[in-house]
Amino acid sequence: MRGWPRDHQGEESSVTTALRIATRGSALARAQTGLVAAALTEATGAEIEIVIITSEGDRSKESLASLGGTGVFASALREALVAGDCDLIVHSLKDLPTAPYPGLVIGAVPEREDARDALCTREGLTLDELPEGARVGTGSPRRVAQLLSLRPDLTIVDIRGNVDTRLGRLTDGDLDAVVLASAGLGRLGRLDAATELFALDLWPTAPGQGALAIETREGDSIPELLSIEHTPTRTAVLAERSVLAALEAGCAAPVGATATVHGDELRLSATVYQADGEAELGCERSAELLGDDHLVAELLGQAVAAQLLEDGAAELAPVGGAAANGGHGEDYWPGGSE
Ligand SMILES: NCc1[nH]cc(CCC(=O)O)c1CC(=O)O
């Protein structure tokens, strides 16, 4: 096992083991893991072994609630990491619950790719150009509210399944459009399917969208990870996740959050939507990054959440504890995978 020899001085040089990265079997999970493995090898020459783990969430067609709710996809991987069957897990950061997992930490956050949502339509149409009453597929309450706020006439179809399944619903003619994360499409080499990318100031996306999290055991030293850590991304996603945690928002809460770092300034904006898109509340704040970036990010997220709650977010959407369910990622689908 890699964990313990590395923690014991002197043994490291005599034990040359590969870094074992666990991943779910879905195409997106494997693509993301492959990208991280390649970046680590390129930067440090590290030898990587990829371990594919199938979780109950991938296998089962049962509803998430009947599987025990939160984190079903992440839990099999996390158990493997705690047990020492692997050294790293690559997650889509937006799918990682905000609550800490005992014994595990986010060991690295690589530079975020595109955080935007993409509209994919059959004939290259934009949202404005879709015909009246067009059928648009998504399983995310945030995306539903955002779609309806701009196009109340649309028919929203609740869809599940991986990216290819979702795009397949388009080509089959069953749907006129689907909304997907640009980052996921890009990692799968399917950005050609995107016909419109929504600007983040009009269409904020899920906290952490477009970013990856490398999860490790607490106390393990894996110096290779320094080569892929991107401080501004970590600070930004911490702020976005802090809003979600402080709002006590479950996965059913339509919340968008966007944070960016400009020099010494961290800017965070968050929006809470009414389910039908007819009302929304937004809040934008910034803070100076002087000293402890993580603490600043955490506090900024809490300040934005407090303001949103003061302005009535809990009357608008299932936030403020009322509907909190542990906060697994948005657009979670039973029986499917990304
Ligand atoms: N919840 C599913 C999920 N988790 C991460 C991504 C895309 C990649 C990313 O956001 O980093 C997706 C698919 C989607 O929302 O279209």
Is residue 338 in some structural domain? Answer: no
* DSSP character string of 158-186: ---S-HHHHHHHHHTTS-SEEEEEHHHHH
Probe ligand 1: pick from 23, 94, 112, max atoms within 8 Å of CB?
Answer: 94
List Cα–Cα distances, 332 to 48, 252, 290, 305, 316, in angstroms: 29, 10, 36, 23, 22
Q: Of all helices (H) and strands (E), which one includes residue 129?
A: none
> Which residues form ligand 1's pocket by a CB distance below 6 Å?
92, 94-95, 180-181, 183-184, 209-210, 329-331, 338
* Distance from the alpha carbon of residue 291 to the mean position of ligand 1, in angstroms: 32
Probe ligand 1: pick from 30, 64, 92, 165, max atoms within 8 Å of CB?
Answer: 92
pLDDT grade, residue 325 (50/70/90)?
Answer: very low
Among 7, 58, 85, 95, the active-site one is 95
Structure tokens at 255: 């919340």
Structure tokens at 39: 């970046």
pLDDT of 14 strictly over 60: no
Average pLDDT over residues 181-203: 97
Which ligand 1 atom is the nearest neighbour of the CA of 180? 16
- CA dihedral sign of residues 226, 230, 235, 239: negative
Q: How does strand 196-197 pair with strand 88-92? A: unpaired
Is residue 205 in some structural domain? Answer: no
Question: Are residue 215 and residue 234 in the same domain, yes or no?
Answer: no
CATH of the domain at 189: 3.40.190.10
* Distance from the alpha carbon of residue 338 to the mean position of ligand 1, in angstroms: 7
Domain that holds residue 25: 1-110+211-229
Structure tokens at 198: 């929504």
| Residue 199: exposure state from Cβ atoms within 10 A (0-12, 13-18, ≥19) | exposed
List Cα–Cα distances, 250 to 91, 160, 233, in angstroms: 19, 18, 23
Question: Are residue 153 and residue 235 in the same domain, yes or no?
Answer: no
Task: Look at the pTM and tell me if it is higher than 0.90.
Answer: no
CATH of the domain at 241: 3.30.160.40
Question: Are residue 106 and residue 124 in the same domain, yes or no?
Answer: no
User: How close are the terminal C-alpha atoms of the chain, in Å?
Assistant: 30
pLDDT for 96-107, tens place per residue?
A: 989 999 999 999
b/e code 280-304 from CB counts within 10 Å (16+ = b)? bbbbebebebeeebeebbbebbbbb
Sheet holding 177-181, edge to edge: 155-157, 135-137, 177-181, 117-121, 196-197
Q: Which residue has the least CA distance to atom 9 on ligand 1? A: 210
Q: Which residues pair with 47 in a beta bridge?
A: none
Q: Which residue has the least CA distance to atom 1 on ligand 1? A: 331
Question: Are residue 99 and residue 218 in the same domain, yes or no?
Answer: yes
Q: How many CA atoms lie within 13 A of 186 on its CB side?
A: 15
Is residue 203 in some structural domain? Answer: no
Question: Are residue 83 and residue 222 in the same domain, yes or no?
Answer: yes
Question: Are residue 239 and residue 301 in the same domain, yes or no?
Answer: yes
Question: Are residue 171 and residue 258 in the same domain, yes or no?
Answer: no
Average pLDDT over residues 317-323: 73
Q: How does strand 19-23 pair with strand 48-52? A: parallel
Residue partners of 154: CB distance under 8 A and separation at least 6: 130, 133, 134, 135, 136, 147, 148
Question: Are residue 98 and residue 223 in the same domain, yes or no?
Answer: yes
What value does the CA radius of gyration of the chain take, rounded to a whole number of Å? 20
CA 285 to chain centre: 22
Rounded Cα–Cα distance for residues 277 and 146 (Å): 6
Average pLDDT over residues 34-40: 97
**Contact between 64 and 176 (Cβ < 8 Å):** no
Question: Are residue 12 and residue 101 in the same domain, yes or no?
Answer: yes
Question: Are residue 46 and residue 135 in the same domain, yes or no?
Answer: no
72 torsion bin: left (phi>0), alpha (psi -120 to 50), beta (else): alpha
Which ligand 1 atom is the nearest neighbour of the CA of 329? 1
Rounded Cα–Cα distance for residues 182 and 210 (Å): 8
Question: Are residue 123 and residue 222 in the same domain, yes or no?
Answer: no
Helix (H, G, I), strand (E, B) or coil at 106: strand
* Distance from the alpha carbon of residue 215 to the mean position of ligand 1, in angstroms: 17
320 torsion bin: left (phi>0), alpha (psi -120 to 50), beta (else): left
Average pLDDT over residues 226-233: 97
Is residue 204 in some structural domain? Answer: no
Average pLDDT over residues 176-205: 97
- Provide the ipTM: 0.96
Question: Are residue 188 and residue 272 in the same domain, yes or no?
Answer: no
* Distance from the alpha carbon of residue 205 to the mean position of ligand 1, in angstroms: 10
Is residue 172 in some structural domain? Answer: yes
pLDDT at site 15:
57
* Distance from the alpha carbon of residue 208 to the mean position of ligand 1, in angstroms: 10
Is there a catalytic annotation at residue 95?
yes
pLDDT grade, residue 226 (50/70/90)?
Answer: very high
Q: Which residue has the least CA distance to atom 5 on ligand 1? A: 92
Which ligand 1 atom is the nearest neighbour of the CA of 331? 1
* Distance from the alpha carbon of residue 181 to the mean position of ligand 1, in angstroms: 5
pLDDT grade, residue 112 (50/70/90)?
Answer: very high
Query: Residue 117's closest CA among 188, 194, 32?
Result: 194
